[in-house]
Structure 1
Amino acid sequence: MAAPVGDRALVLGGSMAGLLAARVLSEYYAEVVVVDRDEMVGVTAPRRGVPQGRHVHGLLARGQAILEELFPGFTARAAASGAHTGDLGELRWYFGGRQARKARTGLRYISATRPVLESYVRERVLELPNIRLEQRCDILGLLSTGDGGRILGARVGRAGDNTAESIEADLVIDATGRGSRTPAWLAELGYERPPEQRIHIDLTYTTRYYRSPPEDFVRGDKSINPVASPAFPRGAFFSAMEHGRWVLSLTGVLGDRPPTDPDGFLEYVRSLPVPGIYEAVREAEPLDDPVAFRYPASVRVRYEQLSRFPAGLLVLGDAACSFNPVYGQGMTVAAIEALVLRDQLRTGVPEPLRFARDLANVIDVPWDISAGGDLAFAEVPGERPAKVRIGNAYMSRAQAAATRDPKVLTGLMRVLGLVDSPQSMMRPTMLLRVLR
Structure 2
Amino acid sequence: MEVVSMRRAEVPAVRDHAVVLGAGIAGLCTAAVLTRHFARVTLVERDQIKGKAADGSRGRRGVPQSPHIHTVLTRAAQEMEQLFPGLIDQCLAGGAVSAELGSQSRITYHGHTLPQRFAGIDGIMASRPFLEARLRERTLQLRSLSLRDGVEVTGLATEGTRGGAAVRGVALYPRGMEAGGEVLEADLVVDAMGRGGRSGAWLEGMGYPRAREERTRIDVTYASRHFALPPDALGADRAVMVGATASRPRGMVFAAQENGSWVVSLHSYGHHRAPVDDEEFLAFAATIAPPDVMNELRRAEPLDQIAVYRFPCGVRRRYDLLKRFPDGLLAVGDALCSVNPVYGAGISLAVREAVLLEECLAEEAARPLARRFFSSAHDATYPAWWLSKIGDYSLVQDGVSARLLGSSFRRLMAAAASDPKTASAVLRSLSFVDSPLKLVRPRILRQMLHQPTSRQPGTTAK
State whether structure 2 residue 157 is matched by structure 1 residue 143.
yes
Q: Give the conservation status (yes or no) of the 8 Å contact 1:52–1:293.
A: yes
- Structure 1 unmatched runs, 5+: none
Match of 1:184 in 2: 201
| 1:58-99 residue CA offsets vs partner (Å, 9 max, x unmatched) | 323321221122222222211001111121112121233453
State whether structure 2 residue 333 is matched by structure 1 residue 317.
yes
Give the partner amino acid of 2:40: E
Q: Give the conservation status (yes or no) of the 8 Å contact 2:97–2:231.
A: no
Give the counterpart of 2:316 among 288, 294, 300. 300
Change (3 A) 1:378 1:166: closer
| 1:287-346 residue CA offsets vs partner (Å, 9 max, x unmatched) | 233221111111111222222211110111111111111111111111111122112111
| 1:248-287 residue CA offsets vs partner (Å, 9 max, x unmatched) | 0101012211211111111111111633332221121222
Change (3 A) 1:136 1:168: same
Q: Give the conservation status (yes or no) of the 8 Å contact 2:360–2:372.
A: no
Change (3 A) 1:432 1:194: closer
Deviation, structure 1 residue 219: 2.6
Match of 1:221 in 2: 237
Partners of 1:27 and 1:288 in 2: CA distance: 39
Give the partner amino acid of 2:28: L
Q: Give the conservation status (yes or no) of the 8 Å contact 1:269–1:277.
A: no
Summarize the alignment of residues 317-356 of structure 1 with structure 2, pairs less than 5 Å apart. Answer: 317-347=333-363, 350-356=368-374
Match of 1:202 in 2: 219
| 1:120-163 residue CA offsets vs partner (Å, 9 max, x unmatched) | 21122222211212111111110001414210010111235521
Summarize the alignment of residues 10-409 of structure 1 with structure 2, pairs less than 5 Å apart. Answer: 10-43=19-52, 44=56, 45-89=58-102, 90-148=104-162, 149-159=165-175, 161=177, 162-212=179-229, 218-272=234-288, 274-347=290-363, 350-379=368-397, 381=398, 385=401, 391-409=405-423
TM-score computed with the length of structure 1 as normaliser = 0.92
Partners of 1:198 and 1:336 in 2: CA distance: 22
SS of the aligned residue for 2:72 comes to coil
Partners of 1:359 and 1:26 in 2: CA distance: 20
Aligned-pair identity (%) = 38
Give the counterpart of 2:16 among 7, 19, 22. 7
Q: Give the conservation status (yes or no) of the 8 Å contact 2:394–2:410.
A: no
Q: Give the conservation status (yes or no) of the 8 Å contact 2:168–2:185.
A: yes
**RMSD between aligned alpha carbons?**
2.2
Partners of 1:248 and 1:347 in 2: CA distance: 44
Match of 2:434 in 1: 420
Deviation, structure 1 residue 421: 1.3
SS of the aligned residue for 2:215 comes to strand
Deviation, structure 1 residue 398: 3.1
TM-score computed with the length of structure 2 as normaliser = 0.87
Q: Give the conservation status (yes or no) of the 8 Å contact 1:60–1:328.
A: no
Deviation, structure 1 residue 186: 1.2
Give the partner amino acid of 1:376: S
Deviation, structure 1 residue 244: 1.0
Deviation, structure 1 residue 427: 2.5
Give the partner amino acid of 2:158: S
Change (3 A) 1:144 1:84: same
| 1:342-379 residue CA offsets vs partner (Å, 9 max, x unmatched) | 12111359532332222222221110011121111245
Q: Give the conservation status (yes or no) of the 8 Å contact 2:231–2:256.
A: no
Partners of 2:325 and 2:236 in 1: CA distance: 53
Deviation, structure 1 residue 390: 5.4
- Structure 2 unmatched runs, 5+: 1-12, 451-462
Change (3 A) 1:194 1:408: same
Deviation, structure 1 residue 52: 0.8
The count of residues paired between Structure 1 and Structure 2 equals 428
Partners of 1:22 and 1:135 in 2: CA distance: 14
| 1:391-417 residue CA offsets vs partner (Å, 9 max, x unmatched) | 543432332233343322221121011
Partners of 2:267 and 2:375 in 1: CA distance: 33
Give the partner amino acid of 1:345: L
Partners of 1:285 and 1:273 in 2: CA distance: 18
Partners of 2:303 and 2:171 in 1: CA distance: 41
